[in-house]
Structure 1
């Protein structure tokens, strides 16, 4: 695990939690009109998603939520803050801004050059 102070760990945990709650709220807002649909009607609804729902956005939000869940797990297991490519520390400031970051800036830059089709750069 990258070397963080206790205070930094508290701040990172709060940033992870806040971003997770923000994403939940964004998804709820995007799917707000689904609240009146019963569970039995949901399958039919999902097969005919209305045009006003940005499914690509919701998909990206769900993916980021999964990344945040993984980051929270790593934080609790003291394996948080290391780049998945080079193993170096990601950096406290980067993690505060983008709590689910999996790579340091250098490796993320290389990754985005190697895979330019990715829809949303995460630097």
Structure 2
């Protein structure tokens, strides 16, 4: 594996990822605590009709979606930190070719080179399409 990253650059990404991990973890904790204090029943208790109930439900769903998005990013950051610890950071998980430092600077959690990421996303989009759509 010929990774174009030197130890100084890897350490830079490790510090950046660790800072993001800490920030996300604290943010998720704060959002969960805030969400707990603003239960749906509290919000819904103030509504007077079905439209207001729908808005209250939407607010709760958006809060949960935001927490889910942060947890997903937290897992990506944690995986990148584990790759650093194993000495695998900067190598594509599919083809084992080096991921360009510019790509890692733009997305420090990148686990695939651009070519493999493109193939992965194409395969995922096909997998998620309904069967009827794929045959057209």
Q: TM-score scaled to structure 2, two decimals?
A: 0.63
State the match for 2:100 in structure 1.
Answer: 91
Pairwise CA distance, 1:8: 0.6
State the match for 1:60 in structure 2.
Answer: 69
Larger helix percent? 2
Contact 1:31 1:53 in 2 (8 A): no
Q: Which has the larger radius of gyration?
A: 2
Contact 2:4 2:101 in 1 (8 A): no
- CA deviations on 1:50-103 (whole Å, 9 max, x unpaired) are 716532232232122122212112212211111111111112121222121111
Q: List structure 1 segments (4+ residues) > 3 angstroms apart after TM superposition.
A: none
Pairwise CA distance, 1:34: 4.7
Segments of 5+ residues of structure 2 without an aligned counterpart are 38-58, 129-136
Count of residue pairs brought into register by the alignment: 106
Segments of 5+ residues of structure 1 without an aligned counterpart are 37-49, 118-123
Matched, 1:81 2:80: no
State the match for 1:120 in structure 2.
Answer: none
